[in-house]
């Protein structure tokens, strides 16, 4: 019964997509799109899903997952029209990939714990990558350039680590961060903008590396800090409102006092 309902709703979504793309009666905007023109919507919808999760807003999450699913259907319909593949090919591809990457579930191979499962996953992914790209390409060649810089940096360093290029101790990464800070200070004193930009990049790269070593998602950590900063600014604004003051017209010393008060609250 549940499967019938899922199939009914899924086919309804496919019908809607076909109607939107219909050459005679479809929507002019939808008909005019291709995978390149709508590519950024995938990124936007994925971020909105993450935002709903972090807000613990279940209704919003349901809505945003629908929007993300629509992007999958949209790209599939575009490629169906070109004779490349359709949504069922997409489903078949992910089904094969997931069963292949979980042999301990679907082939009942012996895997003792979570660590072994993760190790098995990485080995299978590496085999898939070599089969798809060929051994002649570099170990980092298939990491998408479209990723946000922080995400791409994390994946680059993880891939390098999986291939044996990594610090053996966290303290060495921490010392590298100190080294990069010193180099940034020198660059700032030189007032060479390109050197400063490069050293800031090196520092960020090293911090992301430490995050990876500590099994902390740097993107998640930065989002938490962003939200914390926003909440503290909002606290200051509310306090100033009580005093009939405006943020930008308040002395820095007074703002810093309120900032300390916000931290305690």
pLDDT tens for 8-63 read 999 999 999 999 999 999 999 999 999 999 999 999 999 999 999 989 999 999 99
The per-residue pLDDT for 111 is 72
The per-residue pLDDT for 134 is 60
The per-residue pLDDT for 256 is 95
The answer to whether 130 touches 136, Cβ cutoff 8 Å, is no
Q: What average pLDDT does the segment 59-71 reach? A: 97
The per-residue pLDDT for 112 is 66
DSSP 51-112: HHHHTT-HHHHHHHHHHHHHHHHHHHHHHHHHTS--HHHHHHHHHHHHHHH-HHHHS-----
Which of these, 264, 265, 260, 259, lies nearest to 236 by C-alpha position? 259
The per-residue pLDDT for 133 is 65
The answer to whether 133 touches 141, Cβ cutoff 8 Å, is yes
Which of these, 30, 39, 36, 63, lies nearest to 49 by C-alpha position? 63
Which of these, 81, 57, 77, lies nearest to 69 by C-alpha position? 77
The per-residue pLDDT for 117 is 73
Q: Tell me the residue ranges of DSSP E strands in 127-227.
A: none
120, exposed or middle or buried, with CB in 10 Å at 0-12, 13-18, 19+?
middle
For residue range 134-184, what is the model confidence (pLDDT) as tens digits? 655 788 888 888 888 999 999 999 999 988 999 999 999 999 999 999 999
Residue 126 has pLDDT above 80, yes or no: no
Residue 210 has pLDDT above 60, yes or no: yes
% of the chain at pLDDT higher than 70: 97
Per the confidence metrics, is the pTM higher than 0.85? no
**46-to-52, 63, 79, 127 alpha-carbon distances in Å:** 10, 12, 21, 27
Buried b (16+ CB within 10 A) or exposed e, 24-50: eeeeeebeebeeeeeeebbeebeebbe
Which of 47-56, 101-110, 112-121, 208-217 is the least confident region? 112-121
pLDDT interval class at 122 (50, 70, 90): confident
| Separation between Cα atoms, residue 163 and residue 126, nearest integer Å | 10
**138 three-class SS:** coil
Tokens of 209: 């590396």
The per-residue pLDDT for 131 is 73
């Amino acid at each position: 019964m549940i499967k019938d309902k899922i199939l009914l709703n899924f086919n309804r979504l496919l019908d809607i997509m076909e109607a939107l793309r219909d050459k005679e009666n479809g929507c002019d905007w939808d008909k005019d799109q291709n995978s390149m023109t709508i590519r950024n919507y995938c990124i936007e919808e994925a971020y909105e899903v993450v935002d709903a999760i972090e807000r613990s807003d279940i209704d919003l999450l349901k809505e945003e997952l629908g929007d993300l699913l629509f992007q999958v259907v949209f790209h599939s319909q575009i490629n169906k029209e070109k004779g490349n593949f359709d949504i069922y090919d997409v489903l078949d591809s992910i089904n094969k990939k997931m069963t292949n990457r979980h042999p301990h579930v679907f082939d009942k191979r012996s895997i003792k714990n979570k660590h072994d499962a993760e190790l098995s996953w990485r080995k299978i992914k590496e085999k898939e990558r070599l089969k798809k790209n060929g051994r002649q390409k570099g170990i980092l060649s298939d990491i998408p350039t479209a990723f946000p810089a922080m995400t791409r940096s994390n994946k680059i360093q993880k891939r390098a680590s999986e291939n044996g290029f990594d610090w053996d101790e966290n303290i060495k990464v921490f010392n590298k961060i100190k080294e990069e800070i010193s180099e940034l200070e020198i660059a700032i004193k030189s007032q060479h903008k390109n050197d400063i930009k490069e050293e800031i990049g090196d520092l960020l790269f090293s911090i992301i590396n430490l995050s990876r070593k500590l099994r902390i998602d740097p993107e998640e950590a930065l989002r938490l800090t962003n939200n914390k900063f926003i909440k503290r600014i909002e606290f200051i604004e509310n306090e100033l409102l009580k005093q009939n003051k405006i943020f930008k017209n308040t002395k820095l010393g007074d703002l810093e006092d309120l900032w300390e008060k916000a931290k305690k609250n």
